Structure 1
Amino acid sequence: MDPLGTVVDWIAVYGIFGLVVIGLAERFLPALPSYGVLVAIGVAADGAVWSLHTAVIATTVGSFGGAFGLYVLIRAAGRRNSVKFLYWVGRWAGLSQSRVDWILSLLRAREGALTILSQLIPTVRLISPIAAGLLGTNTLRFVSGVSVGIALWNGLFIAAGYLAVLAIPGINSSALALKILILLVAAEVLTALVWRLQRRHSMRLNRGASKR
């Protein structure tokens, strides 16, 4: 059984257009495991249907198109409707309102670097274009940051699939994606724990300074 391999077989029918479409679709379908599909695309990047660099470029173009579309839509909408939409998408992606507010505060504080980094965090990458539009992030900064972040995300997983099949010919794409998911979840949990510890430490330091 290799469900992701079946998805890639469908993408292969449409060639480069299929890669662009799947890159676009992952922006609007949280249930679609983008990392898994990207790994499977990398496994299939043997040059017969698409090359490694073609897969990275085409999926990046599709994903960026979706992200930029959301950004423009939010910039055009009113703030009140945009906030409601952001929270709705957050719930859809499995993020609580408090987590969404936290992401907004981070983007507001360091828009440049975090526009890139937000594309490297599962689920967060789906709502960051909406958050950027809501915060009024400069268009050039958004375009440059998000495009770099998406290219890194896509390139990382496509390369992982490509290297895996070179090391283990005939590897099951879905099994490989599951192993990568476990690593992603572990990394995300570790990052959240470190952030909470740092936040508590900062709060203690601020309390100590205020008492003085």
Structure 2
Amino acid sequence: MDPLGNLVDWIAIYGTLGLVAIGLAERFLPALPSYGVLVAIGIATDGAVWSLHTAVIATTVGSFMGALGLYFLVRALGRTKSVRFLYWVGRGVGLSQSRIEWILSSLRSRERALTILSQLISTVRLILPIAAGLLGTNTLRFVSGVAVGIALWNGLFIAGGYLAVLAVPGINSSALALKILVLLVVAEVLTAMVWRLQRRYSMCLNPGASKR
């Protein structure tokens, strides 16, 4: 059984357009494991249907289009509706309201760096365009940061799948994606622990901040 491999077989029918479409879809379907799909695309990259660089560029374009669409949608909705939308999406990807508020606070002070880095965290990357639109992040800064972040994320997993199949011909896409999921969960748990420790430390240094 290889559900992700079967999905990529379907994507391959549409060639480059299919890659753009799956990149766009992962922005609006939190249940779709983008890292798993990207790894499977990398495994299927053999030059017959798409090359390695075509896979990275096409999926990046699709994901970027989705992120840009969310950014402008939020700017058009207004603050009240955007905040509700942000918390709703956050709950869907497992982010608490307190963590979303921390992301917003951090984004205000380090927009460029966090716009890029947020695209490398599986849950945060989905709410970043909404948060950036809500905060009124400069469009050029958002576009450049998100484009770099998405290219890094997509390139990392597609290249990983490509190298994996070279090392282990016939590797199961879904099994490899499951192993990567475990690593991502561990990394996110460690990141959350570090975040909590840093927050407690900052509150100890500035007790008045917790009352705001």
Per the normalisation by structure 2, the TM-score is: 0.95
CA deviation digits over 1:107-140, x for unaligned, max 9?
1121110000111111110110000000000000
Match for 1:87: what amino acid? Answer: Y
Structure 1 residue 171: Cα displacement: 0.3
Q: Where do residues 75-90 of structure 1 align in structure 2 (5 Å cutoff)?
A: 75-90=75-90
1:1-212 to structure 2, matched below 5 A, reads: 1-207=1-207
The worse-fitting range, judged by mean Cα deviation, of 93-102 and 76-85 is: 93-102
Number of aligned residue pairs: give it.
207
- Letter in structure 1 aligned against 2:160: A
Could you tell which deviates more after superposition, 1-10 or 186-195? Answer: 186-195
Structure 1 residue identity aligned to 2:201: H
Deviates more, 1:16-25 or 1:109-118: 109-118
Task: Tell me the residue number matched to 1:210.
Answer: none
Look up the equivalent residue of 1:191 and give its one-letter code: T
Letter in 2 for 1:61: V
Query: Aligned partners of 2:203 and 2:118: how far apart in 1?
Result: 24
Q: Look up the equivalent residue of 1:44 and give its one-letter code.
A: A
Q: Structure 1: how far apart are the matches of 2:200 and 2:98? A: 16
Which digits, 9 at most, give the CA deviation of each residue in 1:67-99, with x for residues without a partner?
A: 000001111121111111111111122222222
Q: Tell me by how many angstroms 1:156 deviates.
A: 0.3
The aligned amino acid for 1:88 is: W
* Letter of the structure 2 residue corresponding to residue 84 of structure 1: R
Shift of 1:205: 3.0
Worse overlay, 143-152 or 101-110: 101-110
- Once residues 74 and 204 of structure 1 are traced to their aligned partners in structure 2, the CA distance between those partners, rounded to angstroms, is 35
Look up the equivalent residue of 1:127 and give its one-letter code.
I
Question: Distance between the aligned counterparts of 2:78 and 2:203, measured in 1?
Answer: 34
Q: CA RMSD in A?
A: 0.9
Secondary structure at the counterpart of residue 206 of structure 2:
helix
CA distance in 1, matches of 2:20, 2:149: 17
Amino acid across the alignment from 1:99: R
**Structure 2: runs of 5 or more not aligned:** 208-212
TM-score (norm 1): 0.95
Amino acid of the residue matched to residue 152 of structure 2? L
Q: CA shift at 1:64, angstroms?
A: 0.1
CA drift of 1:18 comes to 0.2
Superposed displacement of residue 146, structure 1? 0.2
Amino acid at match of 2:178: L
